[in-house]
Chains A and B, each alone.
Chain A
């Protein structure tokens, strides 16, 4: 059985932040997890690479207040859009 999107994502965050994955809660902000701005951009890259998705440009994405759950939601949205686009082209 494959990990859920949330599990996969939390693993990526834990690796980037060099923290135990158990520390990460859905409501944790990236700031809570000690992820600074440039690391957050690296994290976005890691997530895009892992799920093969592209997040929309979001200059001003607020890494102080964005939570782990909001990232899960964003990934799920991008995956759903990718799936819909894939079906559309069949």
Chain B
């Protein structure tokens, strides 16, 4: 018998800035249409770089829209994304944090892989390349990893537990799980959570090139001709609430965040292990009170690297047994790219969309079946089908796995 009563956690708002545009709806519409936002890299040093493609937030994104001019100079691109996505999510939720002391009962947990990389890169260039004797005075407040969480807290007067979570490509999922746990156990009634990343700097791109995991054509998850991942950027931010809090105020519930699983492979710093990730999926099912056959959809980690896609397929088979053949599995990274610490948050928009609209987004660019990837990956075209429950997988360098289990709104 549990000694602490657990509260149910629901999603009542979502927002996104993504390569598919401004807004969660723009992201979801793009994904269900199977539209890829991968294109030629826009970067001042693009000529010098070997990496030629990326999934970038459109140049039309205006950071200054809706952010006051005294806050703007404090913000790295990661925080710009996060604040915009938070505003959309909070507006959708209809919450007013000034009422009834709600701000004190609200947590903020935002995942990011590296934090203010653009700021770091700009200031390093200033110091080392241009021999400037001084860094910009707002360098620290822009680049600190918790900047996005803190800016959200300040903008809406949120005084509950507030911090960043970093676990590379699983950052957003780990952050969302932390936020949900706080609501479950009564530490907060509401949480603003998700992930943000903007690290397409010259330095970071060179570092990724050197790892030799980037595709040079496009992102082709689960396809035998896949050539690696395509870097992306963006933010996804969600409003989580206890079910009772949402129901008491008559809020529109988008989905239930029913459970989660977190494990570490404890094997290799980059090579994934099917045992570690399948254990995280099994934990998420058990935590959500789901049997394998209750699940209709998995939003895969699906990076498009040789190692991930075959290992993830094996992991899904380990966790789901015979039901694996009845699952729809897709990698939306084929369209929004790999936004690293924000990827789980962009993918949660896809999962909420699938639960709400009964449409599973496809895996784009899947044109040649890989015998080592033998599940139903919903190739190239979205599928209308009822989705009762879904998992969302995020696996990180460092061998870290974080899986969300979602159910339709109760």
Residues of A within 8 A of B (CB): 36-38, 41, 44-45, 54, 57-61
Contacts and interface: CB of A to CB of B under 8 A. Distances in A.
A36 B210 CA distance: 16
Chain A facing B: main interface SS: loop
Nearest to B217: A59
A57 B211 contact: no
Contacts of A37: 270-271, 307
Contact of A59 (B213, B268, B269): B213
B212 A57 contact: yes
A57 B271 contact: no
Contacts, number: 34
Interface in B327-383: none
Given A37-B271, A38-B270, A57 B306 contact: no
A31 B307 CA distance: 16
Contacts of A36: 268, 271
B227 interface: yes
21 contacts: A36-B268, A37-B271, A37-B307, A38-B268, A38-B270, A41-B210, A41-B211, A41-B212, A45-B210, A54-B50, A57-B50, A57-B209, A57-B214, A57-B216, A58-B212, A59-B214, A59-B215, A59-B216, A59-B305, A60-B227, A60-B306
B270 A59 contact: no
Contacts of A57: 50, 209, 212, 214, 216
Nearest to B215: A59
B21 interface: no
Interface string B262-274: 0000001111000
8 shortest interchain CB distances as A-B pairs: A59-B228, A59-B227, A57-B216, A38-B270, A41-B212, A60-B306, A37-B271, A57-B50
A48 to B, nearest CB: 9
